[in-house]
Amino acid sequence: MTDDGNKTAGQATQKQDWHAVNHEDLERRLSTGSAGLAETEAARRLAEYGFNRLAPPKRQGPLLRFVLQFHNILLYVMLGAALITALLGHWVDTAVLFGAVLINAIIGFIQEGKAEAALDSIRSLLSAHATVLRDGVRREIDAAELVPGDIVLLASGDRVPADLRLIEVKDLKVEEATLTGESMPASKTTDAVDLDASLGDRHGMAYSGTLVVYGQARGIVVATAGDTELGRINQMLSSIRNLSTPLLRQVDRFGRMLALVILAFCALTFLLGTGLRGLPAADMFMMVVALAASAIPEGLPALMTVTLALGVQRMARRNAIIRRLPAVETLGSVTVICSDKTGTLTRNEMTVQRVVCADQIFDVDGVGYAPQGNVSIAESVVDPAQYSVLNLAVRAGVLCNDGRLRQIDGQWHIEGDPTEGALLALGGKLGLTQDESNAAWPRQDSIPFESEHRFMATLHKDTEAQPWIFVKGAPERILDMCSQQLGHEGNQPLDADYWRRMATDIAARGWRLLAFACKQDAPSGKGLDFTDVESGYSMLALVGIIDPPREEAIQAVAECHRAGIQVKMITGDHAETAKAIGALLDIGVGKPAITGAELALMDDAALRRIVMEVDIFARASPEQKLRLVQALQEDGQVVAMTGDGVNDAPALKRADVGVAMGLKGTEVAKEASDMVLADDNFATIASAVREGRAVYDNLKKFILFMLPTNGGESLIVLTAILFGLTLPLTPVQVLWINMVTAGALGLALAFEPAERGIMQRRPRPPGEALLSGFFVWRVCLISVLMATGALGLFLWELEHGASLETARTMAVNAVVAAEMFYLINSRYILGSVLNREGLLGNRYVLLAIAACACLQVIYTYLPVMHDIFGSVGLTPEQWLKVLGAGLLVFVGAELEKRLIRNTRFASAAQR
């Protein structure tokens, strides 16, 4: 390309008149042609224009992010208390209070940063691809590598990867709501429009970020990245919206309520202390401040977010990419998973095993997509060239095909649909290569395969320029179009019974079915349309394609069953195929399978009645998926539904967890989903459910740890005030405990891995309140145990002649020790931690305990601490007593778990 050319392209992209430019001007200004750009030129333009990526949305600066950590009612109360103590001149208390707030803000700040980074890395996993023509060859590239002048091929389901001027369209409909707000899809043409036409009227353009919901097209990239219309309005298509979920909001509300209750409670204590007991108001006030500080779970908001974000990250590592955070929680309560079959439950590595023609049945061997293998009849190898009908059928499979086989490092790979890959490999076995066939019989037009109509048709000219139309698709569909069949003596009347029998026989083996037919005729209009494929065909052959189930899917289905989750297979495939594969996966065994046709005859009430009794829905259309989700939800189920096509979007949106396929899924499906499977694998859904349950568990564990520890501290002080005892903890000591333990200890629980038996429980009922009766009980029990240990020790020591300072130092250490022990208890809500894994399995727990222990040694022995907090050194014997008080909580908690495990409350508590 000349320098001039560069300039033209460069300047051209600055102007916004592309919608008004005609085809020739377009190619000239962008210096491109029908073969697309050369790779070298594309690389040069990439260096000039940069990557086709939108700048991420503006982030809050670190300072603002830090300041926002304080924006929480719990911390406001703490800061208010700090201010008042400062006014009263209690500087140490002010410093400790402020220290606690600061520590929490810092933890929150760092963890939130990590959480955002985790979500960012997940965002990049969702980057889109684009199909381009470069050097005349079709290629899949990362959409970020598109440059002005590239020719992009669009198909239904794609997200438009850059601003395109359309040069070829076939029934193209694009949903442009992101740009125009118009939710009805816009029909596109290749026509230029007036220069001042509004965005919605520029029919010859497809804009970046919009979604192709129907048809196909070819367009030239006219603007990328920030130059696109989307870039101009600077709207990042966000994959994960914000760090909030219903559960987090529930906890937030709870936090606010708790703050109010604590304040009211403190006021009451103040009145009781001063009025009833006649304690000095200033002392009482300091005590109440300390009480409030210790009761408020100030670490709660930050830690909840972290737990959730860590869960999302863990899921991403296992190929489940969460697009909407609430899905993490919902996953934990899923009761039914509706899964596609092909590629999700099966391997999607297809190989043709059998070709049935009117007169012969051919078996084909060879594995994978390698074009090597023998053809045999009744177990004796034959020369396929002798069989003209077989050859024509296989040619139909090669021509009526949008896939492409490539050999990379000696291995054959398919670009496109694996079903079509199997047909190309079959062609190779008969010596019919794709390039030669296409050159000899050039394609004139096509109707692409869509799950709704279940066939594909192509129009070709043969070597004598005669028109041929080939169709391939689901046998029922193709048989309906045929009136004849081709045998070696030419056309004969169709023997539909023969084909149906053969189809059932192939399907019963669990093989996928495809039929081929042809007619030697020209289309009625200029190109192929649906009227051309209605009738008049000759049936050529039936093909049986093997697609074995995934090994890991078999295990995952069994795991789901153990976890009380029903697995349903919803497939476009033949009922017999689905049943045979279902039997291998243990889905729908001993139950009837229902077809889409039968489903169509049922009204919603009838469907609701049978929906839980049937596990296999075959030949189901995407619209029926939506009906199934609705029926299941009306039955009270929490449904995860997989999908990949454009028409799956409504069902994905409606499902409680919409799961899109990352590899074969369209952008439209991904957009509608809550979670994307990077590997299209059913086993990934099961592991996401497992992680979802673990996240929910960890949130519960964290709350179950935090509330009793706060409760215990408050109870000690309160009891002393109420019973007129010497205060076992001074205000500043309460604040110290709070500073050392709040947040830092509990944070370790966010790293807790899933419990071993997590997939052996029933799903959690949806909408179940987090803070159940069991929670209240556990909080009370631990608070009482903690208070008993510390207070008892304190009183015992005083009684036996210890100094007040010593007794208080022991009380402080006893509370902290109890919290450290209880942290270990909290690793499992009901399970025993009295084993190696339970005691040592989470190194963050051990680290947190070690850190706390160091701080307590400093507190006890450092002279400056003696001055500030009134602490004193302890003897080994005294330390043993401190540990004993701590152990009281540990043993008490384990005993309680044991008792509960043995009662009928276990399952309710476990959830």
Which residues are known catalytic residues? 340
455 is a contact residue toward ligand ATP (CB under 6 A): yes
Taking contact as CB under 6 A, which single stretch among the options 212-220, 417-425, 683-691, 801-809 is the one that binds ligand ATP? 417-425
449 is a contact residue toward ligand ATP (CB under 6 A): yes
Between 144 and 459, whose beta carbon lies closer to ligand ATP?
459
547 is a contact residue toward ligand ATP (CB under 6 A): no
Task: In whole angstroms, give the CA distance from residue 662 to residue 647.
Answer: 16
Among 45, 354, 512, 690, binds ligand ATP (CB under 6 A): 512
419 is a contact residue toward ligand ATP (CB under 6 A): yes
320 is a contact residue toward ligand ATP (CB under 6 A): no
Between 476 and 529, whose beta carbon lies closer to ligand ATP?
476
Q: Which residues contact 270 (CB under 8 A, 6 or more apart)?
A: 284, 285, 288
Between 305 and 419, whose beta carbon lies closer to ligand ATP?
419
549 is a contact residue toward ligand ATP (CB under 6 A): no
Contact 487, 433 (CB under 8 A): no
Q: What DSSP character marks residue 65?
A: H
717 is a contact residue toward ligand ATP (CB under 6 A): no
Size of the site for ligand ATP (CB under 6 A): 21
Question: Minimal distance in Å, beta carbon 513 to ligand ATP?
Answer: 5
Question: Minimal distance in Å, beta carbon 405 to ligand ATP?
Answer: 14
Between 341 and 764, whose beta carbon lies closer to ligand ATP?
341
Between 179 and 482, whose beta carbon lies closer to ligand ATP?
482
What type of residue sits at position 17?
D
Question: Minimal distance in Å, beta carbon 532 to ligand ATP?
Answer: 16
Residues numbered 458 to 487 that lie near ligand ATP (CB under 6 A) are 472-474
Q: What DSSP character marks residue 274?
A: I
Q: What DSSP character marks residue 393?
A: H
Between 366 and 473, whose beta carbon lies closer to ligand ATP?
473
Nearest to 343 by CA among 455, 418, 421: 418
Q: Which residues contact 801 (CB under 8 A, 6 or more apart)?
A: none
Between 472 and 627, whose beta carbon lies closer to ligand ATP?
472
Residues numbered 878 to 897 that lie near ligand ATP (CB under 6 A) are none
289 is a contact residue toward ligand ATP (CB under 6 A): no
Helix (H, G, I), strand (E, B) or coil at 338: strand
Question: Minimal distance in Å, beta carbon 396 to ligand ATP?
Answer: 11
Binding mask 326-365 for ligand ATP (x = CB under 6 A): --------------xxx-----------------------
Q: How far is CA 11 from the centre of its chain?
A: 42
Output 548-551 pairs: Cβ under 8 A, ≥24 positions apart. Answer: 548/346, 548/347, 548/349, 548/584, 549/345, 549/346, 549/347, 549/581, 549/584, 549/585, 550/345, 550/346, 550/347, 550/681, 550/682, 550/683
Output 134-138 pairs: Cβ under 8 A, ≥24 positions apart. Answer: 134/36, 134/37, 134/38, 134/39, 134/42, 135/35, 135/36, 135/37, 135/38, 135/39, 136/35, 136/36, 138/404
Among 163, 227, 420, 671, binds ligand ATP (CB under 6 A): 420
Q: What DSSP character marks residue 272?
A: I
579 is a contact residue toward ligand ATP (CB under 6 A): no
Q: How many CB atoms lie within 10 A of CB 843?
A: 11
454 is a contact residue toward ligand ATP (CB under 6 A): yes
Among 456, 507, 575, 739, binds ligand ATP (CB under 6 A): 456
112 is a contact residue toward ligand ATP (CB under 6 A): no
What type of residue sits at position 113?
G
Question: Minimal distance in Å, beta carbon 896 to ligand ATP?
Answer: 48
Question: Minimal distance in Å, beta carbon 334 to ligand ATP?
Answer: 19
775-799 CB burial, b ≥16 within 10 A, e <16: beebbebbbbbbbbbbbbbbbebbe
Contact 577, 372 (CB under 8 A): no
Task: In whole angstroms, give the CA distance from residue 299 to residue 848.
Answer: 15
911 is a contact residue toward ligand ATP (CB under 6 A): no
Between 449 and 705, whose beta carbon lies closer to ligand ATP?
449
434 is a contact residue toward ligand ATP (CB under 6 A): no
576 is a contact residue toward ligand ATP (CB under 6 A): no
842 is a contact residue toward ligand ATP (CB under 6 A): no
Structure tokens at 23: 């085809």
Question: Minimal distance in Å, beta carbon 340 to ligand ATP?
Answer: 4
405 is a contact residue toward ligand ATP (CB under 6 A): no
Q: Are strands 375-377 and 380-382 parallel, antiparallel or unpaired?
A: antiparallel
Task: In whole angstroms, give the CA distance from residue 691 to residue 311.
Answer: 7
157 is a contact residue toward ligand ATP (CB under 6 A): no
CA dihedral 798, 801, 805, 808 (to 10 degrees): -30
Question: Minimal distance in Å, beta carbon 342 to ligand ATP?
Answer: 3
Among 225, 513, 628, 793, binds ligand ATP (CB under 6 A): 513
Closest residue (Cβ) to ligand ATP?
A: 572
Between 25 and 529, whose beta carbon lies closer to ligand ATP?
529
Among 112, 175, 532, 573, binds ligand ATP (CB under 6 A): 573
Longest dimension (CA), the chain: 114
Contact 216, 153 (CB under 8 A): yes
Taking contact as CB under 6 A, which single stretch among the options 235-243, 254-262, 548-556, 565-573 is the one that binds ligand ATP? 565-573
- Report how far apart, in Å, the C-alpha atoms of 880 and of each of 1, 296, 884 are: 84, 30, 6
Question: Minimal distance in Å, beta carbon 564 to ligand ATP?
Answer: 24
Between 515 and 824, whose beta carbon lies closer to ligand ATP?
515
Structure tokens at 364: 């084909």
Contact 37, 137 (CB under 8 A): no
210 is a contact residue toward ligand ATP (CB under 6 A): no
Task: In whole angstroms, give the CA distance from residue 247 to residue 341.
Answer: 33
234 phi, psi to nearest 5 deg = 50, 50
Question: Minimal distance in Å, beta carbon 398 to ligand ATP?
Answer: 13
Task: In whole angstroms, give the CA distance from residue 535 to residue 12.
Answer: 49
Question: Minimal distance in Å, beta carbon 555 to ligand ATP?
Answer: 19
- Beta bridge partner(s), residue 595: 618
369 is a contact residue toward ligand ATP (CB under 6 A): no
Question: Minimal distance in Å, beta carbon 569 to ligand ATP?
Answer: 7
Output 65-72 pairs: Cβ under 8 A, ≥24 positions apart. Answer: 65/109, 65/112, 65/113, 66/105, 66/109, 69/104, 69/105, 69/106, 69/108, 69/109, 69/112, 69/302, 70/101, 70/105, 72/255, 72/298, 72/301
571 is a contact residue toward ligand ATP (CB under 6 A): yes
Between 363 and 417, whose beta carbon lies closer to ligand ATP?
417
451 is a contact residue toward ligand ATP (CB under 6 A): yes
Question: Minimal distance in Å, beta carbon 453 to ligand ATP?
Answer: 9
Among 41, 417, 691, 894, binds ligand ATP (CB under 6 A): 417
Between 622 and 711, whose beta carbon lies closer to ligand ATP?
622
540 is a contact residue toward ligand ATP (CB under 6 A): no
Contact 814, 895 (CB under 8 A): no
Between 343 and 366, whose beta carbon lies closer to ligand ATP?
343
Contact positions toward ligand ATP, by CB under 6 A? Answer: 340-342, 417, 419-420, 449, 451, 454-456, 472-474, 512-514, 571-574
